[in-house]
Amino acid sequence: MSAKHNVKSAKEILSSLMSDERLSSACHTLLRWFNANSPFADFVEKYGSKICAKLKNAARENDEKVRDVLVELESAYRFAKTGVFLPEYEPYAPEKTGNPDIVCRSKEYPPFSVEVKRIREIKESVHFREFMDALIDQLRQTRSSLGFCINTIDVGDGEAPHDLSQYPNPALPSVADQCLALIDKYERELPSGGEVTCSVRDLTCTLAITLQKIPDKPSDSPTAWLGRAYALPYTGKEWRKFSDIVLSLLHSRQIRTGMISILMIVLDSEAYEPEDVSEAIPKVWARAQCGDDDFFRGKRFEDAQAFLQKLPLLSGILIVGRWDQLNQPTGRNYLWQNPGAAMCLPQELGCLLQEL
């Protein structure tokens, strides 16, 4: 298809979905990508009917499903945007084995398949953010010459009286009262420009509140939120999400044999770190080496050996953050390469994926 695309036909595909409130935002995003990149516009025209059907089906379920489809299309946009790859969308018959989300072809590299998965924001993270927002709003209502920020400094063993998965959280009054008492105390005791950090606990994590005495700030003004981002509680078990995704993929029909195969995981949750995947794969591999058949049967494999036979099909795992903030730098993607892959990634291709 030529670079000069039929703007009307592609826009009609997207405009036909605009009236559905559940799809309006996604369609505006797709239209923005369409206008930004000619090869992606050609992609939308070629697969318009499939895109329309997938978005409609997703909207019948929930917003998260719509976001899942949008992330697939976002990956196609990023590949098209390089000017190197021509992405194909689920190009193989769905009843056949090995029908990945994207297949990329180019003159410079061998074809490769991409299966796209998204890690959604977990319920605990949503509740924690809601809890923190409510706490910050309450503290800002008191008046002092102080400013404050709050962070998470550790995660407990789950035996504290209140768990962050509860919302509205019954711990909020107790935590707020502790913070308000500290504000009252250090409003009187801190010198101008002074700073102190104190621990607050009535949850399965410990919060640290840092108070600063702001020079020339009137004591009858609202206590200032200093605007620093607070960290989400981190349990050290987040790697298990990555291993579950890998195990599910290897058990499925989505990997196409005889081709470089990439698992792309898009992080829509702040609770996970890209480097967790480097912990996940060796731990699962070690269980397979030990012959932990019960574990792998629980993951729908025949036994540990069945997992070891399928692992070489996976060439690598690409971990990316939110891509749709197109005006903000995203940094390099994290790439894990399978040392035992049947088809390894060329070095230049690996570098390109990291910059995608």
For the stretch 270-298, pLDDT in tens is: 777 788 888 899 999 999 999 999 999 99
* pLDDT for position 339: 93
Q: Strands (DSSP E) along 84-217, which ranges? A: 86-89, 102-105, 112-119, 146-155, 195-200, 205-213
Q: Are 242 and 277 in contact (CB under 8 A)?
A: yes
* pLDDT for position 194: 94
Q: Are 93 and 49 in contact (CB under 8 A)?
A: no
Q: How far is CA 44 from CA 30, 78, 102, 264, in A?
A: 9, 13, 13, 21
Residue listed under structure tokens 């489809």: 69
Q: How far is CA 319 from CA 86, 262, 340, in A?
A: 21, 10, 19
Nearest-angstrom CA–CA distance, 240 and 237: 6
Beta bridge partners of 155: 205
Reference 223, options 213, 238, 233, 234; nearest CA is 213
Distance of CA 182 to the CA centre of its chain: 36
pLDDT tens, 75-134? 999 999 999 999 999 988 766 667 899 999 999 999 999 999 998 876 767 777 788 888
Q: Are 266 and 242 in contact (CB under 8 A)?
A: no
Q: Are 281 and 133 in contact (CB under 8 A)?
A: no
Side-chain-side CA neighbours of residue 159 (13 Å): 1
Beta bridge partners of 274: none
Query: Which residues of the chain have a pLDDT value below 50?
Result: 1-3, 6-7, 157-162, 167, 324-329
pTM for this predicted structure: 0.73
Nearest-angstrom CA–CA distance, 252 and 183: 55
Spatial CB neighbours of 70, under 8 Å, sequence gap ≥ 6: 26, 29, 30, 324
The two three-digit tokens of residue 213, written as one number: 């005495």
* pLDDT for position 181: 95
Length of the chain: 356
Q: Are 261 and 345 in contact (CB under 8 A)?
A: no
Q: 296, exposed or middle or buried, with CB in 10 Å at 0-12, 13-18, 19+? A: buried
Number of C-beta neighbours around residue 232 at 10 A: 21
* pLDDT for position 24: 87
- Helix intervals (H) in the chain: 7-18, 21-36, 38-46, 48-61, 63-81, 123-140, 172-189, 239-251, 276-289, 293-298, 304-310, 347-354
Nearest-angstrom CA–CA distance, 291 and 276: 23
Phi and psi at 43, nearest 5°, equal -60, -45
Beta bridge partners of 212: 147, 195
* pLDDT for position 169: 66
